[in-house]
A = this chain, B = another copy of it.
Amino acid sequence: MLMPIMKTLEAQKIVLASSSPRRKEILEKIGLKFDIIKSNFEENLNKVDFSSPLEYVKETAKQKTLEVARRIYSKPVSPPDLIIGADTIVTLDGDIIEKPSSVEHACQMLSRYSNRTHTVITGVILVTPNKNAIQESSETGIDCKFKLHTFHDTTEVVMPDLPTNVIQHYVESGEPMDKAGGYGIQGLGCTLVESIKGDYFNIMGFPAHKFAIELLKLYSKQN
């Protein structure tokens, strides 16, 4: 979908504010060129403070991205044209499921998915320069120097009955440990997923289609 604005994007400075190799892979697939600046935000928001898993993932994505944006915009150099940040969670029965903390935790997560449908939500933040504010006095706070554009996407994932030995073998492979939700649909975990409804790339950690649509909107507004 981005092909008509690809020439514009190629000439821009873009930063991915995430260390996820999956997000890097998806943005490269789309054809973007970008630098990676990892967020130092400690992902420790109190889940009980949020009315829903969606509100939690949106706020975590925002805080992760803001930390990178503030660091960049506090420097006396031209900021990038676009900073992209995101956070992904799995939700089931209203619970928020992130990365497993141990092998046992990964096994527990996967047992919960057995014969059920869970939901993957990614919150995405796009940061662009607030051109008016940059030209204003230096008294303006850093946050006034940029604008946030936020959206999210959800995908449903159906898993079949997952026998205990399948879960154990899978967790032993090591694949679940660095993944939100405790599995990688793009890896060995591909056979664990019976069916999905929504954007596949959202499960990997970044909603490719919606990103393209939102970016097109953003750039048509700017031009």
Binding site for B on A (CB under 8 A): 1-4, 6, 26, 29-31, 160, 163, 165-166, 169-170, 173, 185-188, 190-201, 208-209, 211-213
CA–CA, A61 to B128, complex, Å? 50
Number of copies: 2
Q: Which secondary structure dominates chain A's binding surface?
A: helix
> What are the residues of chain B within 8 A of A185 when measuring CB–CB?
200
Check B187–A29 contact: CB distance below 8 A. yes
Residue of B nearest to A195 (CB): B198
Of chain B, the residue at the smallest CB distance from A184 is B29
B190 contacts A29, CB within 8 Å? yes
* Interface residue from B31, B192, B197, B212 paired with A1 (Cβ < 8 Å): B192
- The smallest C-beta distance from A197 to any residue of chain B, in angstroms, reads 5
